[in-house]
């Protein structure tokens, strides 16, 4: 069974209940991770995920709340006995450069006495880069995973991409941070689940919705594409009551979208059924 585990549903805003962005897609014991923001490694352990069984980290864009835990993840996975480098998939640009270099500031002696019997002398990251396009293209595949990416609109951050992950006949699309755009529409058409960032348009500056999505715009896209399953994450401002969550729901449903709609929490587990 393919499952989603929402490891981090927050934003850069300090929040004790929501880590930075991180969405795990799991099948059996294997998993891939979209983004690796503040606290995501610890959330993965809390979720019971086996770190050496992580196949790849897919990075959407170079904002700290999406990448800042990457070195911690690579090191902790290595300490857990992973025999191979951590695979990172990223579009050409700053997030790929960061992934390539984020372990460099640790000299070998930083890992003295931490080496397990089956692991190499120090942790390592292998970065698979790709040139992102506005139309979805396959950017990585391995061991039954098929990952496509498309450029999204999170200007001035470039490249920013969304991902579609397919495995075992199921699909999930993770938007990263973006206004609703053609790239996301192309990825999300026909998907079983869309995980999209969402801001409340009544509580954030209008300008921020030029490069982020309002809950209402996500609802409109879901309605247009006749989707059945949408999860709102990267919530701003983060909801802290039932009423706050209902406000996100009401804004998303104003479009007429009547499919399933979920407000994400850290460590939420979600089975992916046929859309």
Collapsed DSSP state (helix, strand, coil) of residue 128? strand
For Zn ion, which is the closer residue by CB, 68 or 171?
68
CB of 66 to Zn ion, least distance (A): 6
Residue 75 to residue 67: CA distance in whole angstroms: 14
Find the catalytic residue in 35, 65, 69, 266.
65
Q: How far is the CB of 165 from Zn ion (least distance, A)?
A: 19
- Compute the least distance from the CB of residue 52 to Zn ion, in Å: 29
User: Nearer to Zn ion by C-beta: 206 or 243?
Assistant: 206
Phi-psi region of 246 (alpha: psi -120 to 50; beta: other; left: phi over 0): alpha
Interaction site with Zn ion (CB under 5 A): 63, 177
Which CB, 66 or 223, lies closer to Zn ion? 66
Choose among 202, 196, 167: nearest CA to 179. 196
For Zn ion, which is the closer residue by CB, 106 or 211?
A: 211
How many whole angstroms separate alpha carbon 104 and alpha carbon 166? Answer: 32
Smallest separation (angstroms) from Zn ion to the CB of 123: 26
Nearer to Zn ion, 119 or 212 (CB): 212
Active site residue 266: no
Contact 200, 251 (CB under 8 A): yes
Distance CA 34, CA 158 (A): 17
Least distance between Zn ion and beta carbon 21 (Å): 8
Q: Which of residues 82 and 184 has its CB atom nearest to Zn ion in the complex?
A: 184
Nearest approach in angstroms of CB 27 to Zn ion is 28
What is the Cα–Cα distance from 225 to 112, expressed in whole angstroms?
53
The span from the first CA to the last CA of the chain, in angstroms, equals 14
Q: State how far the Cα of 137 lies from the Cα of 220, in Å rounded to an integer.
A: 24
Q: Which residues contact 71 (CB under 8 A, 6 or more apart)?
A: 102, 103, 106
Length of the chain: 275
Distance CA 254, CA 231 (A): 16
With residues binned 3-state (H G I as helix, E B as strand, rest as coil), the percentages for the chain, rounded to 5, are 25, 30, 45
Residue identified by tokens 């009547």 is 258
The residues carrying an active-site annotation are 65
């Amino acid at each position: 069974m393919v499952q989603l585990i929402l490891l981090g549903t927050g934003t850069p805003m300090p929040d004790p209940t929501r880590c930075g962005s991180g969405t795990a897609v799991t099948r059996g014991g294997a998993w891939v991770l979209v983004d690796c923001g503040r606290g995501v490694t610890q959330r993965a352990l809390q979720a019971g995920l086996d770190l050496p069984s992580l196949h790849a980290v897919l990075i959407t864009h170079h904002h700290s709340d999406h990448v800042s835990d990457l070195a911690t993840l690579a090191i902790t996975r290595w300490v857990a006995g992973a025999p191979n480098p951590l695979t990172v998939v990223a579009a050409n640009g700053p997030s790929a450069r960061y992934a390539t270099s984020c372990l460099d500031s640790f000299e070998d002696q930083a890992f003295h006495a931490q080496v397990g019997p089956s692991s190499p002398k120090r942790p390592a990251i292998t970065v698979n880069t790709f040139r992102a396009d506005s139309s979805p293209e396959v950017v990585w595949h391995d061991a039954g995973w098929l990952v496509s990416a498309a450029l999204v609109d999170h200007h001035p951050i470039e490249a920013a991409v969304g991902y579609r992950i397919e495995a075992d006949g199921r699909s999930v699309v993770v938007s990263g941070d973006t206004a609703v755009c053609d790239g996301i529409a192309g990825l999300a058409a026909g998907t079983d689940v869309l995980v999209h960032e969402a801001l409340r348009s009544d509580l954030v500056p209008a300008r921020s919705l030029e490069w982020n999505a309002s809950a209402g715009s996500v609802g409109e896209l879901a309605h247009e594409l006749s989707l059945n399953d949408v999860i709102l994450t990267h919530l701003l401002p983060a909801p802290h009551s039932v009423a706050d969550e209902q406000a996100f729901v009401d804004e998303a449903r104003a479009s007429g979208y009547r499919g399933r709609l979920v407000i994400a929490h850290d460590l939420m587990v979600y089975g992916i059924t046929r859309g």
